[in-house]
Amino acid sequence: MNSQDVKNLKKRYFVWLYKTTKEAFDKYERKFTQVDIDKDILLEMENALMGSYLPHEKAALEKLINNFQEYIAGKEKSCLELKYQGLRTNPEFIFLDVKLNAIEKLITKELGRKALVEIKALYEKEMTRRILRGAEHQC
């Protein structure tokens, strides 16, 4: 096995390590990001609907807005319960955060900064592909 073969094996292992660790870590972080976006969407919707609907539509629209507010509150509560155990941060979250940082440092050390950027881009592309493919099957 030549040095390029060894480098390729290391790269594939780093891709797998990054992917599996990042997926586990994202399980925690994505919900907080989603809550922030949902709150922004709610604010935009409230601003758009303020006074622009007819009286007979008001009750139904308010109910839908209230349902969305409850959905956001429930999601936020589940986020906090997942990431925190009482007043302490969930040890698994801390472990995954430290592990992901270690993997990124080692990728940079072994393969270079450019390889880390490439691996991150591959991960993002794959996650986006999964989302789009999932939506495609629901049509």
Is residue 109 very low, low, confident or very high in pLDDT (cuts 50, 70, 90)? very high
pLDDT digits (tens, 9 = 90+) for 13-38: 999 999 999 999 999 899 889 999 99
What pLDDT is stored for residue 47 in this prediction? 87
Of 83, 112, 110, 97, the C-alpha closest to 21 is 97
Per-residue tokens: 31:
């919900």
How many domains does the structure of the chain reveal? 1
Beta bridge partners of 88: 85
pLDDT at 113 over 70: yes
Taking the C-alpha atoms of residue 6 and residue 63, their distance in angstroms, rounded to an integer, is 60
Question: Which domain does 51 fall in, by range?
Answer: 3-138
pLDDT digits (tens, 9 = 90+) for 47-95: 888 777 777 787 888 889 999 999 999 999 998 888 888 889 999 999 9
Beta bridge partners of 89: 84
pLDDT at 118 over 80: yes
Task: Quote the pTM value.
Answer: 0.80
